[in-house]
């Protein structure tokens, strides 16, 4: 084989590689996400639906936890009431994210141009009204499995929030995540009705809706460790120090194995007390990212269902240092 033939073969290989790269880029950049148009729905705002939505938004699904500013001069960073739903919370490289992402304004100020179907698609599929992918710090992969009526309730309630003027900066993902994240959106696969009498099943549903695993499953090189709910995920605190998610598995030494249902519920309900909820924290003192005040509003029966479900998990022996100054 002469030199010209070898060069011709190499040039052909390089050309093929370039064409494949261009094709792959074009597919990820322009063909995705592919979840179809937003559904044409108008959600009736009944009192029962709005009440259920208020409960989910403010105490279960994490909506006003991530879409509001929190006051970390106080224990567990309670939400600043005037910022409820106004967004603007920054998630960036300091938290291990591949880019800079801001939670959206989900009050009527931010959603006034959105149809109910567009909000539904964003919550359940992760695609905004312009057809762009939302970074999955927004846990739409879990919300897409929620009961459809619960998602409707959330949308109905969001429409009733006071409009809070706050123009949120655009999010920006680092390359190549800016392309690869387009693989994440998918059509929703809502679960059928979950009976609250089924404490394990309903507890599993609440845990999924609350996104507990997102924080309480530690990551190894950016991917889930495989030890679900074993805790250890680290969060830098605005006031200094590092907070880590607790081990929620029923391991008796390092998790919830020795906890009773009464102790579990009481841990949450302690933050219904205004003194506990507004406990000041000295700079550099113990604090936590766990939004206790937010979850303290959950029904006692729901907290018991969560406890019952967590007790069915595989025990994982994983000691967690919950705070490092």
pLDDT tens column, 118-129: 999 999 999 999
Pull the structure tokens for residue 145. Answer: 């499995």
42 within a domain of the structure (yes/no):
no
Do 180 and 212 lie in one domain? The reply is no
22 within a domain of the structure (yes/no):
no
Pull the structure tokens for residue 57. Answer: 């938004």
**Average pLDDT for residues 286-301, to the nearest whole number?**
96
Do 79 and 152 lie in one domain? The reply is yes
Do 170 and 80 lie in one domain? The reply is yes
Do 59 and 92 lie in one domain? The reply is yes
Q: What is the pLDDT of residue 13?
A: 62
10 within a domain of the structure (yes/no):
no
43 within a domain of the structure (yes/no):
no
135 within a domain of the structure (yes/no):
yes
Do 183 and 59 lie in one domain? The reply is yes
Mean residue pLDDT across the chain: 91
122 within a domain of the structure (yes/no):
yes
Do 136 and 268 lie in one domain? The reply is no
Is residue 212's pLDDT more than 80? Answer: yes
Q: What is the pTM of this model?
A: 0.92
- Specify the range with the lowest mean pLDDT, choosing from 62-71, 153-162, 211-220: 211-220
Q: Of the candidates 171, 191, 211, which is a domain's last residue?
A: 191
Do 234 and 310 lie in one domain? The reply is yes
Cβ contact 98:88 at 8 Å: no
Do 148 and 222 lie in one domain? The reply is no
Do 219 and 315 lie in one domain? The reply is yes
Cβ contact 260:268 at 8 Å: no
Cβ contact 124:154 at 8 Å: no
Domain around 279 = 194-325
Q: How far is CA 29 from CA 33, 36, 121, 126, 218, in A?
A: 9, 16, 20, 16, 30
6 within a domain of the structure (yes/no):
no
**Average pLDDT for residues 228-238, to the nearest whole number?**
92
Q: How many domains does the chain divide into? A: 2
Q: Of the candidates 122, 157, 191, which is a domain's last residue?
A: 191
CA distance 147 to 152: 9
Q: What is the pLDDT of residue 33?
A: 86
The 10s digit of each residue's pLDDT in 141-155 is 999 999 999 999 999
The 10s digit of each residue's pLDDT in 63-72 is 999 999 999 9
288 within a domain of the structure (yes/no):
yes
Nearest to 228 by CA among 322, 318, 142: 318
Q: What is the pLDDT of residue 283?
A: 83
Do 200 and 216 lie in one domain? The reply is yes
Is residue 207's pLDDT more than 90? Answer: yes
Q: Of the candidates 165, 191, 217, which is a domain's last residue?
A: 191
Do 151 and 217 lie in one domain? The reply is no
Do 177 and 309 lie in one domain? The reply is no
């Amino acid at each position: 084989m002469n030199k010209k033939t070898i060069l011709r073969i190499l040039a052909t290989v390089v050309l093929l590689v370039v064409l494949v790269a261009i094709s792959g880029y074009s597919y990820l950049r322009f063909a995705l996400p592919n979840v179809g148009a937003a559904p044409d729905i108008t959600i009736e705002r009944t009192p029962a639906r709005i009440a259920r939505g208020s409960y989910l938004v403010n105490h279960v699904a994490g909506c006003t936890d991530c879409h509001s500013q929190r006051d970390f001069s106080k224990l567990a960073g309670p939400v600043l009431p005037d910022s409820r739903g106004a967004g603007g919370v920054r998630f960036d490289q300091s938290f291990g994210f591949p880019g800079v992402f801001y939670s959206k304004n989900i009050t009527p100020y931010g959603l006034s141009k959105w149809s109910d179907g567009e909000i539904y698609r964003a919550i359940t599929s992760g695609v905004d009204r312009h057809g762009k992918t939302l970074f999955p710090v927004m846990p739409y992969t879990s919300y897409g499995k929620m009961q459809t009526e619960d998602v409707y309730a959330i949308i109905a309630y969001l429409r009733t929030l006071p409009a809070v003027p706050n123009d949120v900066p655009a999010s920006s993902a680092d390359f190549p995540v800016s392309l690869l994240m387009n693989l994440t959106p998918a059509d929703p696969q809502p679960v059928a009705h979950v009976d609250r009498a089924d404490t394990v099943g309903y507890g599993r549903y609440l845990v999924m809706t609350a996104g507990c695993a997102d924080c309480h499953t530690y990551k190894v090189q950016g991917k889930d460790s495989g030890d679900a709910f074993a805790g250890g995920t680290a969060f830098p605190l605005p006031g200094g120090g590092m907070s880590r998610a607790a081990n929620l598995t029923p391991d008796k030494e390092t998790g919830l194995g020795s906890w009773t249902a009464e102790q579990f519920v009481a841990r949450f309900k302690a933050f219904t007390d205004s003194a506990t909820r507004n406990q000041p924290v000295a700079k550099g003192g113990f604090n936590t990212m766990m939004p206790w005040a937010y979850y303290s509003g959950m029904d006692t029966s729901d907290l018991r269902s969560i406890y019952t479900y967590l007790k069915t998990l595989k025990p994982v022996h994983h000691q967690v240092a919950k705070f490092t100054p």
